[in-house]
């Protein structure tokens, strides 16, 4: 992905950014980005706006030239695709973009470029917590973030991904994605056992996925119980409220089997994907580091009360 024609500096003045979604009041993205731009010395403002798929195009079209970019969360990561001029390879494969850059084309006109920083955010958060490899991965949920989790599993060297959902027919696209990234994806209903014990479990379900009864239906099966008892890492991409019901049931299952557990909150993923968004907004490219990046990351982790491993 080419870089924008000019790189922003403090002398360029204030720029506007925001995270969009519905609901959005709980989002910690404003705190993360504010911490990053303070370290970088950029007088940028980053807010939040409750935007639905039906109002997304109007919101994007109404942004002034002061706007630099947008972060997108549920339910907008797929709805934004028709609005962008280009996608990075990760967004194209997953069919989901969580980052939009307001850029200029060769003629000086404004264009929108879409990126997916969730995949790298998952991988980087897991690495910070000590997990860099996984042969078998269990994913709960089949939406846009599940697609990112499948790609993250491929980067971790997984051979098999089991995806458990309520309606398997709606997750068929994840089988195709698995083929594209070189792994086998097995779709099963909640309550069915995984084909083998997972080394890593990723929940992509909303924090409000259900009460304890529903969570017990999700966190079920001998393979899952064995994973919990043997200390497999659970990354729950939700973080508000915390712990989620899924995490609570997972912990009980692990303790019943004599295991110890320290699930990773979605805040860790949020921080690491947000750092890559900062790269996009500042450098125009998620692969290009910003100045003083270790200090930027430290400030972002501190802003949401996490240590270097991504835990509270």
Please list the active-site residues.
Answer: 77
Tokens 């920083």 — which residue? 117
CA atoms within 13 A on the CB side of 140: 30
235: left (phi over 0), alpha (psi -120 to 50) or beta: beta
Quick count: other Cβ atoms within 10 Å of Cβ 106? 7
Encoded tokens for 181:
């990234």
């Amino acid at each position: 992905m080419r870089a924008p024609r000019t790189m922003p500096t403090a002398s360029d003045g204030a720029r506007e950014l925001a995270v969009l979604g519905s609901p959005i009041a709980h989002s910690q993205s404003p705190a993360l980005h504010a911490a990053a731009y303070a370290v970088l010395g950029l007088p940028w403002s980053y807010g939040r706006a409750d935007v639905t798929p039906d109002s997304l195009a109007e919101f994007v079209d109404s942004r002034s030239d002061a706007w630099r970019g947008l972060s997108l969360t549920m339910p907008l990561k797929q709805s934004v695709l028709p609005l962008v001029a280009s996608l990075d390879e990760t967004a194209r494969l997953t069919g989901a973009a969580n980052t939009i850059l307001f850029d200029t084309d060769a003629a000086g006109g404004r264009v929108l470029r879409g990126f997916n920083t969730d995949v790298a955010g998952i991988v980087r958060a897991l690495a910070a917590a000590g997990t860099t490899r996984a042969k078998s991965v269990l994913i709960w949920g089949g939406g846009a973030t599940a697609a990112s989790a499948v790609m993250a599993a491929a980067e971790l060297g997984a051979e098999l991904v089991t995806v458990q959902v309520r309606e398997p027919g709606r997750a068929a696209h994840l089988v195709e994605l698995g083929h594209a990234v070189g792994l086998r994806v097995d779709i099963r209903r909640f309550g069915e056992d995984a084909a083998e014990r997972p080394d890593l479990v990723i929940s992509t379900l909303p924090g409000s996925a259900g009460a304890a009864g529903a969570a017990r239906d999700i966190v079920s099966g001998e393979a899952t119980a064995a994973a919990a008892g043997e200390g497999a890492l659970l990354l729950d991409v939700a973080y508000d409220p915390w712990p989620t019901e899924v995490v609570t049931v997972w912990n009980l299952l692990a303790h019943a089997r004599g295991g110890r557990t320290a699930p990773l909150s979605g805040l860790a993923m949020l921080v690491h994907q947000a750092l890559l968004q900062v790269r996009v907004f500042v450098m125009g490219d998620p692969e290009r580091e910003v100045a003083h990046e270790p200090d930027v990351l430290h400030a972002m982790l501190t802003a949401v009360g996490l240590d270097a491993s991504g835990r509270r």
